[in-house]
Amino acid sequence: MTGQAPLVELVDIHKSVGSGDRTVEILKGVSLTVNAGESIAVTGPSGSGKSTLMHVMGLLTPATVGHVRVAGERVGQDRRKAIGMRRMFGFIFQDAKLIGGLSALQNVQAPLMHIGVWPHRQKKLATQALEAVGMGHRLGHHPSQLSGGESMRVAIARALVANPSILLADEPTGSLDSVNGRIISDLLFGMVGLSTALVLVTHQPDLALLADRIAHIVDGTMVEG
Amino acid sequence: MGVGADRAARHGLGETSRMSRAVCMGMIIVQSMWAFRWQQALVLATMAIGSFGLAAIMFLGEGALRNLWMDLDTLMGSRMDVYPAPGLGDKLLQKRPLVHFNIQDLEYVREHAKKASYIAPMFYHRSRISLHDIATVAHVDGIDEPMMKETAYTQYMGSGFTQEGLAGDRMECLLTRSMAERLHAAAEPLPRVAVGAYPCQVVGIIPDPPGADEPLRERVAIPYRWARLLWGGGDDIGAIIVSWRSPEEMEAVVESVRRALDEVRAPGAYQLTSSRFAVRKRKEIVSNIMLAGSAQSLFSILIASIGVLNVMLANVTRRSREFAIRVAVGAEPSDLALIVLMESVALSLIGGLVGLFLAVAGAPLIIQALATRIPEASNITPVITMGGVVAPLAVCVICGALAGAIPAMRARRLDVLAALRAE
Ligand SMILES: Nc1ncnc2c1ncn2[C@@H]1O[C@H](COP(=O)(O)OP(=O)(O)O)[C@@H](O)[C@H]1O
Ligand SMILES: [Mg+2]
């Protein structure tokens, strides 16, 4: 049956931060299912909990209540399990979040290094990933030498290089002009395939419409559309 | 096998193994050390200074120690004492057991070691020494005339042996400082003590034999003539003292004495010792200087470690964004801890190597600088010892690991989301 299990299932997720009187409940019971090969757009006003949802889904932080299932396997509070499963996801942040001291190639190699891929293979895979996003000619450039759109393309290559099952992109076009935004969204939707799903947080309605489904979040609760 | 390795194999990332992960960790460490080279130069420099000090003091100290042995003859002992070693060679060669040398031995050695500046008999005996109601048992050295010129017997308070004493008309003695203190005899006018049953005028207080153990510091010296009269039944001699004029002649003198004694006694039936006390004392001094210097360098490495700790802590804070990104792209928190710890160790080790290199290159310069103030220092050649190489590196690595531990724990507990949110 596991072959048919959804890639990720969020089951009634609550997420609170802070403690005592200062506790803030950001997510108030969100459920979402992501199947292989699917693209989902997550929309909603600023501060509604979209980024937090991505962090919980990507196992960067545990849910306070509820649980996440990845490929049919339940990930609770077990930190070690979460760490192992995290590599199923490729993260893309709004501001690219490249590592400053490293070149584009080294940034893309980073995920492979943490997995322990042999160096020669690392270099080959990272170069391929950068070529796939049209950055094959900027391998040795450092983030300070790249434009916003170029940085985002490197970030996408970095998210893809280890063959994740799900891409989690948090407003990747938010700080780009429309031309670059278009390039990035084409790249992202182009990656969605049989084994790769995409969850995309965006403010832009035209972008959201490209997705198979739209999940709308308001004040920590989901209004699926 | 973790999920990561599982997936790596499935998705064409190639095989991963303990080995490949270790290689990758090494790459990450080298990469980030290079990326943050300026901040980390400080750590390296402080470690280098500590290691330099420790290595230099060890190289120079070893040089000074060796120098001490070589210089011995010029500075301290142009003299050796020959003692009987009873029992040993006699059994092998069936000669008469050697408990004492005798007059014939002395004469034989004198005949065969013509290059010696003097060859004198010495007679020593343990005897009761008393003054008023204080009494003790101590070594009494009967010393012959040529020996009285040795510094040990000329640096005295009082007059030294008088002509009367030397001629045997009056019984005189010298007390070591410890002996004089024991008997409360250190004040003028110097008293008469009883050596055995014989009243004996104290004519001088001489220094304690340097470096001698406590019981051997309380000694009495009397003219050889007297010693033989009192205890020297027949021809017996306690020891033969051989002196040479210059270090170049030492070897020849020692060799001729050996040959003579091998003939008249047996090889191994006697032993040669040269200014034992003095050597031990000087060695002690050099060792103490080395110890003090090493302690100081260790201290500076410790201080440097606090610097390392500080810089590494600051690095962890400064790099929290980088670390959070690494976690988001697949690093485990323990990877972060390992990165910080290994960087600290690697930096300290490199610093240690730099310091070591500087010490090797700079030791001769230190000696030159020292020699402008202390001319004797120019005799010292620094000696690079295993210990002098290993100790500073080991200390640097240990301190680097200790200083890296706290920042590593902090990196491990990094709040990834907070670090990702902060810009
Ligand atoms: N660690 C935190 N402590 C307090 N409030 C937080 C914390 N993290 C997020 N929030 C708050 O939770 C809300 C949702 O944040 P976020 O998920 O980033 O929203 P979005 O991405 O939809 O703009 C915001 O109001 C934010 O201020
Ligand atoms: Mg957000």
Q: What ipTM, to 2 d.p.?
A: 0.94
Residues B128, B110, single domain; the answer is no
Residues B326, B178, single domain; the answer is no
Residues B112, B248, single domain; the answer is yes
Cα torsion through B201, B203, B205, B207, rounded to 10: -110
Q: Is the CB of A15 under 6 A from ligand 1?
A: no
CA-nearest residue to A95 within chain B is B423
| pTM beyond cutoff 0.80 | no
Q: Which of B346, B323, B423, B330 is nearest to A101 (CA)?
A: B323
* Among candidates B11, B24, B420 on the partner chain, residue whose Cβ is nearest the Cβ of A116: B24
Ligand 2 centroid to residue B420 C-alpha, Å: 11
Residues B257, B327, single domain; the answer is no
Q: Within an 8 Å CB–CB cutoff, is residue B420 touching chain A? A: yes
Q: What is the pLDDT at residue B194?
A: 92
Residues B394, B408, single domain; the answer is yes
Residues of A in contact with B417 (CB under 8 A): 55, 60-61
Residue B399 belongs to a domain: yes
Residues B248, B233, single domain; the answer is no
Residue B75 belongs to a domain: no
Q: What is the pLDDT at residue B50?
A: 84
Q: Is the CB of A66 under 6 A from ligand 1?
A: no
Residue B22 belongs to a domain: no
Residues B209, B255, single domain; the answer is no
| 3-state SS track over chain A | CHHHCCCEEEEEEEEEECCHHHCEEEEEEEEEEECCCCEEEEECCCCCCHHHHHHHHCCCCCCCEEEEEECCEEECCCHHHHHHHHHHEEEECCCCCCCCCCCHHHHHHHHHHHHCCCHHHHHHHHHHHHHHCCCHHHCCCCHHHCCHHHHHHHHHHHHHCCCCCEEEEECCCCCCCHHHHHHHHHHHHHHCCCCCEEEEECCCHHHHCCCCEEEEEECCEEEEC
**Is A10's pLDDT higher than 90?**
yes
What is the overall mean pLDDT for chain A?
90
Q: Is the CB of A94 under 6 A from ligand 1?
A: no
Residues of A in contact with B327 (CB under 8 A): 60
Residue B76 belongs to a domain: no
- Whether residue B3 and residue A87 make contact (CB cut-off 8 A), yes or no, is yes
Confidence of residue A107 (pLDDT cuts 50, 70, 90): very high
Cβ-Cβ pairs closer than 8 A, A with B, add up to: 112
Share of chain A above pLDDT 70, in %: 97
- Cβ atoms of A89 and B7 closer than 8 Å: no
Q: What is the pLDDT at residue B89?
A: 43
Q: What is the pLDDT at residue B86?
A: 58
Give the neighbor-by-neighbor strand order of the sheet with A24-34: A24-34, A8-17, A65-70, A73-75
CB under 8 Å to B18, separation ≥6 — which residues? none
CB under 8 Å to A121, separation ≥6 — which residues? A112, B13, B14
For residue A53, how many C-alpha atoms fall within 13 Å in the half-sphere facing its CB? 36
* Residue A2 vs residue B345, higher pLDDT: B345
Residues B250, B197, single domain; the answer is no
Residues B181, B138, single domain; the answer is yes
- Domain holding B181, by residue range, is 121-237
Residues B326, B313, single domain; the answer is yes
Length of chain A: 225
The mean pLDDT values, 10 residues at a time, for chain B of 423 residues are 46 80 93 81 83 87 71 54 62 52 87 88 86 89 80 71 83 91 86 90 82 75 85 76 78 86 82 61 74 80 81 86 92 91 90 93 86 75 86 90 92 90 75
Residues B128, B219, single domain; the answer is yes
Count the domains in chain B: 3
> Tens digits of per-residue pLDDT, A179-206?
888 989 998 998 888 778 999 999 888 8
Residue B19 belongs to a domain: no
Residues B146, B202, single domain; the answer is yes
Residue B5 belongs to a domain: no
Residue B9 belongs to a domain: no
Query: DSSP states of B300-312 as a string?
Result: HHHHHHHHHHHHH
Q: What is the pLDDT at residue B152?
A: 67
